[in-house]
């Protein structure tokens, strides 16, 4: 099953880490 909507994850891990991960693409 797929879990955790983006808004939940945004709160849990923060925008900075999300941006950092996105930079690897």
User: What's the closest the beta carbon of residue 11 comes to other proteins, in angstroms?
Assistant: 9
User: What's the closest the beta carbon of residue 18 comes to other proteins, in angstroms?
Assistant: 5
Spatial distance between the Cα atoms of 22 and 25, rounded to a whole number of angstroms: 6
Burial 8-25 (b: 16+ CB within 10 A, else e): eeeeeeeeeeeeeeeeee
Q: Which of residues 1-25 bind other proteins (CB under 8 A)?
A: 1-4, 8-9, 12-13, 17-18, 20-22, 24-25
Q: Which residues bind other proteins (CB under 8 A)?
A: 1-4, 8-9, 12-13, 17-18, 20-22, 24-25
């Amino acid at each position: 099953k797929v879990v955790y909507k983006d808004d939940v994850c945004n709160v849990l891990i923060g925008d900075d880490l999300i941006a950092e991960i996105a930079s690897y693409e």
